[in-house]
Amino acid sequence: MLPRRQDYGMKMTGGVRGGSVINFRTTVSSGRRGSSAVLPSVLTFLVIVASGGLLLMIEKGMLNSMETPPPRGSGKRLDFIRQAGRHGPDAVDVETQILQEIRNRTIRTMCSQKNMPHSIWSLSPLQRKTVLQHILVNDQYHFLYCYVPKVACSNWKRVLKVLSGALESVDVNIKMNHQNDLLFLSSFKPEEIRYRLKHYFKFMFVREPMERLLSAYRNKFGEIQSYQKKYGVEIIKRYRKSRAKDASITGDDVTFGEFVRYLLDEDVERMNEHWMPMYNLCQPCAVNYNFIGSYEHLESDSAYVLQHVGAPPHIQFPERQTWYKPVTTETLHYYLCSLPQKLLKELLPKYILDFSLFTYPLPNTTTQHCRH
Ligand SMILES: *[C@@H]1O[C@H](CO)[C@@H](O)[C@H](O)[C@H]1NC(C)=O
Ligand SMILES: *[C@@H]1O[C@H](CO)[C@@H](O)[C@H](O)[C@H]1NC(C)=O
C-alpha cells in the first residue's frame, strides 16, 4: 500500500523529470485575456503538472479516472471565471482560483484510488498519531488547522492563540511557544475527533517542497544549536567517515548534500516534522480538507480562511517579519544544482506525493539548466 511503504521510491527517467517543468505564470496570464482562452491552458497545465507524478500515476492506474472538465459554457466549474470577468481582475484572482481548482481535482482524483487511505481510521497507528498531533482545534469558530512547519505555521499559531484569547494580538513580540495554549486534535476522544472532522472547516497550507526543505535546512542547521547537536552531530558522524569517532564535532557545518543523504536514509513516517513530507504530516486523502492554501499566496489565502471561519475583522494574519529571509529561486537553484545528480534522483521521489498532490512542478535540474 503506497502511503505505508517506508519509502515510496519511484524510478524516474530524465525524460519525465525534464518534461514536467513549466512556467505556470506565462500559461495563466495568457489566459487572462478572456475566459475562453483560460480553459485550454488549464487543461494543458493539469496534464503537465500531472506528468510530475506521471510514472507514479501510471503505475497506480490513476490516469484512467482523471476526469476532464465539463464542456465549455455549461459547467458550474466555470462560474469563477465568469465572475472574474464580471467584476474585473481585482475581484477574484483568476490565477489563484485556477490553481485551487487544479489542486482540488488532483487531490480528489489521486485520493479516490483504492490504495489511498479514505479516513484517518484506516491509517496505521503511527500515521494517525502524526496527523492528529498536527491538527489544531478551534471549537469557537469550528475549524481544524493542520500545521506544516516552515509554511507560516508560527503565524497561524499566533492567530489561533489570539482567537482563543490566549494572546492579546498577533503582533505581540514574544517567541512562539509551539505547545502552550494550543488545542491538538490528538487530545480528544475518538468520537469527539470524529465529530470535529465531520463538521468543522478543515484547512492546511502547503509550500513548494524543495523550498520548504531548504528553508528547514538553513534555519535548523544554520541557526538552531539544539538541532545541530541532535541531528548535525549524527549526520556528520554518519557521512564524514574520517570524523566518525571525533568527539569535537559540533554539528554546525552540515552541508546540504549531507543533509540530503541523511533524508534519503530516513523513513518518511519517522522523520522530524520540519522535513517530513507534508503528505505524511496532514494526510490529505484521509482528512477531507475544505481548503488548501499555499505559501505562494499566503496573504490572500489566509485572509480567505479568516473570513470564511468568521473571525472578527480586526484579527488579521500577521505581516512577514522583518527578519524574514525568503528562499529565492536563485538560492534554490544553487543548492539543488550543487547536489550530485544521483542524490537528486532519489530526493525528488521521496517527496513525490507533495509534488503531485499539491501540484508543484518538479524543479528543472537538467545539467543544461544547472549550468546557468
Ligand atoms: C474542492 O471542491 C469542492 C467542491 O467545490 C469543495 O467542497 C472542497 O472544499 C474543495 N476542497 C479543497 C481542498 O479545495
Ligand atoms: C530546463 O532548462 C534548460 C536550460 O535552461 C532548458 O533548455 C530546458 O528546456 C528546461 N526544461 C524544461 C522542461 O523546461
Distance CA 80, CA 111 (A): 24
The whole-number pLDDT of residue 49 equals 52
Cα–Cα distance, 279 to 284 (Å, whole number) = 6
Question: pLDDT at position 358, please?
Answer: 95
pLDDT at position 136 is 97
Please report the atom of ligand 2 found closest to the CA of residue 368.
4
The pLDDT value recorded for residue 74 is 43
Helix, strand or coil for residue 61? Answer: coil
Residue 31 confidence (pLDDT): 35
Q: In what order do the strands lie in the sheet with 143-146?
A: 135-138, 143-146, 201-206, 291-294
Query: Could you count the other beta carbons within 10 Å of the beta carbon of residue 156?
Result: 25
- CB of residue 97 inside a 6 A radius of ligand 1: no
Q: Which ligand is nearest to the CA of 20?
A: 2
- Please give all residues whose beta carbon lies within 6 A of any atom in ligand 2, as ranges: 18-19, 21, 364, 366, 368-369, 372
CA 15 to ligand 1 center in whole angstroms: 33
Residue 284, all three cell numbers = 490529505
At 184-228, the pLDDT tens digits run 999 999 999 999 999 999 999 999 999 999 999 998 888 788 888
Q: Give 205's strand partners.
A: 293
Q: Give me the residues of the chain with pLDDT under 70, please.
A: 1-92, 243-246, 321-325
The whole-angstrom separation of Cα 310 and Cα 308 is: 5
Indicate the top mutation candidate among 23, 364, 367 to test ligand 2's pocket, ranked by most ligand atoms within 8 A of CB: 364
What is the CA(104)–ligand 1 centre distance, in A?
6
Which listed ligand is nearest to 293 at the C-alpha? 1
Q: Report CA 87 to chain centroid distance, whole Å.
A: 31
Q: Which listed ligand is nearest to 23 at the C-alpha?
A: 2
pLDDT digits (tens, 9 = 90+) for 307-348: 999 999 999 998 876 666 678 888 999 999 999 989 998 999
Residue in the structure block whose three cell numbers are 507524478: 53
pLDDT (0 to 100) of residue 107:
95
> What does pTM read for this prediction?
0.78
